[in-house]
Structure 1
Amino acid sequence: MKSVLEYKDYHLFMQDYYDERKRLGAFSWREFCKSAGFTSPNFLKLVCMGQSKLSKVKARAVAQAMKLVDYEEDYFCELVTFCNAEKDSVKKDALLEMQKIALEHKVRVVDGEAFQYYESWKYPVLRELVPMMPGATARDIAEECKEHVSAEEVHDILSFLVKAGFLKKDGEKVYSQTEQTVIGSKEALPIAIRSMHREMANMAVRAVDRYSPNERFFTGVTLSVNQEASNRIVEEINACCKKVLSIANEYKDLDQVCRINFQFFPVTEKIKEVRHA
């Protein structure tokens, strides 16, 4: 079976471990539980089915029962923390620790690149800006940004974007975009994107007073919906995003980087029962 370092869900790893042991010979959930120190003969089966959680305290005992040693055991314990955590900050810390362990043992974890790309507005903005400024120095690029970024940061970010495949270096201080997109696991990427949404939303708040009305466009509506209407609105917003990108791609003489935020979120609880007068 695959190395534990290739997993992002401890439930799947434990299930694969059980299936592999079962395939090789007689093995039962009772035996698995007993070897990990559980009195319940079906507890680990319930964990694998997602009906119960493996505690942080018991994670190491289960890792040892599966004969994980050294860095594999540490990775599994971080994996349990990652899957069980409810706070994004805890999930991110666990995933970055998993990435560190994996990189030290020559296993590439692409989610680390997703986190780095989305951890700051600077990465996507510079990816758009730099191709429009051939020959520009890092200081020149930094001075064109509305939000503060240092020349040293620009240099480091460009190095990352090239190394990760988001920009291509065509010559001295000349860059072009690649078709590379940010790829991450279904467990990790939403955490990274939520971080970017928070940062971009804060920038939008500052933009209300920073720019005159002819430099920015803000609008919004408050409306009542049901689930079907909500689903259709989300589809319409997604279609609008694609249309906006297609319009921008029609032009070659680009001279500025902008950001569009669409926010559609509840401001009340769902009414469980409609009351009629």
Structure 2
Amino acid sequence: MKPILEYKDYHLFMQDYYDYRKSHGAFSWREFSKLAGFSSPNFLKLVCMGQSNLSLVKVELVAKAMGLVAYEGEYFRQLVIFGNAVKDSVKKAALLEMERIAREHKARVVDSETFQYYESWKYPVLRELAPMMPGAQPRKLADECKEYVSAEEVRDILAFLVKAGFLKKKGDKVYTQTEKSVTGSPEALPIAIRAMHKEMGNMAVRAVDRYKASERYFTGMTIGVNEANYSRIVAEIDSCARKIAAIANETENLNQVYGLNFQLFPFTNKIEGGSNA
């Protein structure tokens, strides 16, 4: 579904959230309402249909039920204020606040014209690193990277990031990000994005022995699944990824670049007629 920052109607956002969860596994209005703390199993359905309004008292509980944290939760609150308001002055104030949050936390979705961004880990890493080191020479930026990159590459990559609109140059070697985060469109660049996943996976393998346990976090499990709970697990991972992005985006005082990969893949073929009974 679309990021919450693209919505101006909280009823529509909640309906899209419900449809998304429903399409990825067993999910009902009863479960949705229960997660949000409502005793009526159909109350949120009525809200989405426009037959009831969501009170500000319940906003935080509903936001939590949908996995909205940090600026996403605040944006949802302003959506509700905007949608419920009768006075133009209240609507205007809420809309201005929504626009402010959207400007500060807008995510860039990479399209086919800028697929070069996904050719190597160096592009997203330098996009994060350069703003942390205002005035730094390309050689210094290269030296701070754990994986090898030459000063010449850094210079060329920074020029590309500025030209493509991923970074904005202010003065001499001072860079700022044009958007808080960058995501890959699922419709575009499938080959480039797959290549990036492979590269990041290889870097993660090296990280197991390369860094102390206090510098990296790895966990894993082997689980049995079927089509229904596979879809639910994917939806949960997607929700977790959005929460982590929101936490990262709300912090200004940054001093290191990390990579985070979620991995869920089959160890076996599907067993026809398999059962744990």
Structure-1-length-normalised TM-score: 0.57
Question: What is the match of residue 153 of structure 1?
Answer: 153
Change (3 A) 1:276 1:227: closer
- Report the AA paired with residue 158 of structure 1: L
Change (3 A) 1:276 1:132: closer
Aligned 8 A contact 2:131 2:176 in 1: yes
Aligned 8 A contact 1:168 1:178 in 2: yes
Change (3 A) 1:231 1:184: closer
Question: What is the match of residue 25 of structure 1?
Answer: none
Question: What is the match of residue 254 of structure 1?
Answer: 254
Structure 2: 5+ residue stretches without partners: 1-110
Question: What is the match of residue 210 of structure 1?
Answer: 210
CA distance in 1, matches of 2:186, 2:269: 31
Aligned 8 A contact 2:184 2:193 in 1: no
Question: What is the match of residue 112 of structure 2?
Answer: 111
Question: What is the match of residue 133 of structure 1?
Answer: 133
Kindly provide the CA deviation profile for residues 74-100 of structure 1, in whole angstroms up to 9, marking residues without a partner as x: xxxxxxxxxxxxxxxxxxxxxxxxxxx
CA distance in 1, matches of 2:119, 2:262: 19
- Report the AA paired with residue 148 of structure 1: Y
CA distance in 2, matches of 1:130, 1:250: 18
1:236 counterpart = 2:245: no
1:163 counterpart = 2:183: no
Structure 1: 5+ residue stretches without partners: 1-109
Change (3 A) 1:122 1:192: same
Kindly provide the CA deviation profile for residues 131-173 of structure 1, in whole angstroms up to 9, marking residues without a partner as x: 1110000001000000000000000000000001100111110
Structure-2-length-normalised TM-score: 0.57
| SS of residue in 2 equivalent to 1:171 | coil
CA distance in 2, matches of 1:241, 1:154: 28
How many equivalent pairs are there? 166
Aligned 8 A contact 2:129 2:257 in 1: yes
Question: What is the match of residue 271 of structure 2?
Answer: 271
Bigger relative contact order, structure 1 or 2, given CA contacts below 8 A and separation 6+?
Answer: 2
Equivalences for residues 37-186 of structure 1 within 5 A: 111-114=112-115, 116-179=116-179, 181=182, 186=187
| SS of residue in 2 equivalent to 1:176 | strand
Q: Which has the larger radius of gyration?
A: 1
- Report the AA paired with residue 253 of structure 2: D
Aligned 8 A contact 1:118 1:193 in 2: yes
CA distance in 2, matches of 1:262, 1:231: 15
CA distance in 1, matches of 2:129, 2:225: 39
Shift of 1:262: 0.5
Aligned 8 A contact 1:131 1:174 in 2: yes
| SS of residue in 2 equivalent to 1:168 | strand
Shift of 1:117: 0.8
Question: What is the match of residue 199 of structure 1?
Answer: 199
Change (3 A) 1:185 1:197: closer
Aligned 8 A contact 1:111 1:185 in 2: no
CA distance in 2, matches of 1:173, 1:274: 60
Kindly provide the CA deviation profile for residues 200-223 of structure 1, in whole angstroms up to 9, marking residues without a partner as x: 000000001100111111000100
Aligned 8 A contact 1:111 1:183 in 2: no
Shift of 1:112: 5.0
CA distance in 1, matches of 2:213, 2:185: 37
